[in-house]
C-alpha cells in the first residue's frame, strides 16, 4: 500500500512537471487562451486546500481557507485559477515547517478587483532573491545542498497566468518569519 502510494505521488509530481513545462512554452509564445467565467472563490480555494493537505505530511501546521463564502464571484478561468492556487499553496506548505498557511481574499470596491493572498509562517525569502524566484528554473537558494525539491517553474508559470488574467503576482516576505504571495482578479 505504501509503495503504491509513492508511485501515485511520483506520477502526480511528474504530470505536474510536464504540464508546467508545456504551459511555460505556450505562455512564452502567448498561446494560452483563457475561458473566463464567474467563479466562486471560496469553493475554488476549498478544493485546492483539500488536494494540498497530503503535502503537510507529519509537519505541525495546518492550512486555512478564510475566504468569505459571500465573496462576489470573480471572472476567471477556473482551471487556471486552480493551477495558480495549487502552485502557491503547494509552495507555502513546502517552505513551512510549522505554523500555518492561510488563504484570504478582499474585494477592492473602487477597482472592483479581488485580491487573493496566500500567507505562510515559513522560512521566508531573502530580499536578494525576491525578483529572481519569478524567473523560470530559478530557485531562491539554488545551492546543491538545498533540502527542498522542485523545478523553479511554478512561480514563472503562475505569474504569466495571473498576467493573462489582467492581474499581478506580488511577494512580501520576512526571512525566517514567512511569506505572502498575492494576486488580483
User: How far apart are CB 108 and ligand ADP at their closest, in Å?
Assistant: 23
Query: Toward ligand ADP, which CB reaches closer, 85 or 153?
Result: 153
Interface contacts to ligand ADP, rule CB under 6 A: 87, 91-92, 95, 120, 122-123, 125, 133, 139-140, 150-156, 179
User: How far apart are CB 153 and ligand ADP at their closest, in Å?
Assistant: 6
Look up residue 151 and give its three cell numbers.
Answer: 523545478
Cα–Cα distance measured from residue 109 to residue 106, given in angstroms and rounded to the nearest whole number? 9
Q: Is the dihedral of CA 38, 135, 20, 6 positive or negative?
A: negative
Query: Toward ligand ADP, which CB reaches closer, 41 or 125?
Result: 125
Query: Toward ligand ADP, which CB reaches closer, 99 or 152?
Result: 152
Query: Toward ligand ADP, which CB reaches closer, 77 or 120?
Result: 120
Which contacts of 46-55 are long-range, i.e. CB under 8 A and separated by 24 or more positions? 47/82, 48/82, 48/85, 48/86, 48/89, 48/103, 49/89, 49/103, 51/86, 52/86, 52/89, 52/90, 52/93, 55/90, 55/93, 55/94
User: How far apart are CB 5 and ligand ADP at their closest, in Å?
Assistant: 22
User: How far apart are CB 24 and ligand ADP at their closest, in Å?
Assistant: 10
Amino acid at each position: 500500500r505504501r509503495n503504491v502510494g509513492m508511485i501515485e505521488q511520483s506520477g502526480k509530481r511528474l504530470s505536474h512537471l510536464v504540464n508546467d513545462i508545456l504551459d511555460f512554452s505556450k505562455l512564452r509564445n502567448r498561446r494560452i487562451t483563457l475561458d473566463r467565467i464567474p467563479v466562486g472563490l471560496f469553493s475554488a480555494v476549498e478544493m485546492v486546500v483539500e488536494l494540498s493537505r497530503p503535502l503537510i505530511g507529519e509537519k505541525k501546521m495546518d492550512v486555512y481557507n478564510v475566504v468569505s463564502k459571500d465573496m462576489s464571484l470573480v471572472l476567471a478561468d477556473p482551471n487556471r485559477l486552480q493551477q495558480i492556487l495549487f502552485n502557491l499553496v503547494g509552495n507555502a506548505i513546502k517552505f513551512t515547517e510549522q505554523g500555518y498557511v492561510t488563504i484570504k481574499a478582499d474585494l477592492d470596491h473602487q477597482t472592483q478587483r479581488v485580491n487573493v493572498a496566500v500567507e505562510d509562517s515559513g522560512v521566508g525569502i531573502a530580499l536578494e532573491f525576491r525578483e529572481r524566484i519569478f524567473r523560470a528554473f530559478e530557485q531562491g537558494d539554488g545551492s546543491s545542498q538545498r533540502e527542498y525539491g522542485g523545478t523553479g517553474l511554478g512561480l514563472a508559470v503562475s505569474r504569466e497566468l495571473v498576467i493573462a488574467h489582467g492581474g499581478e503576482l506580488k511577494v512580501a516576505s520576512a526571512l525566517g518569519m514567512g511569506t505572502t504571495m498575492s494576486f488580483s482578479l
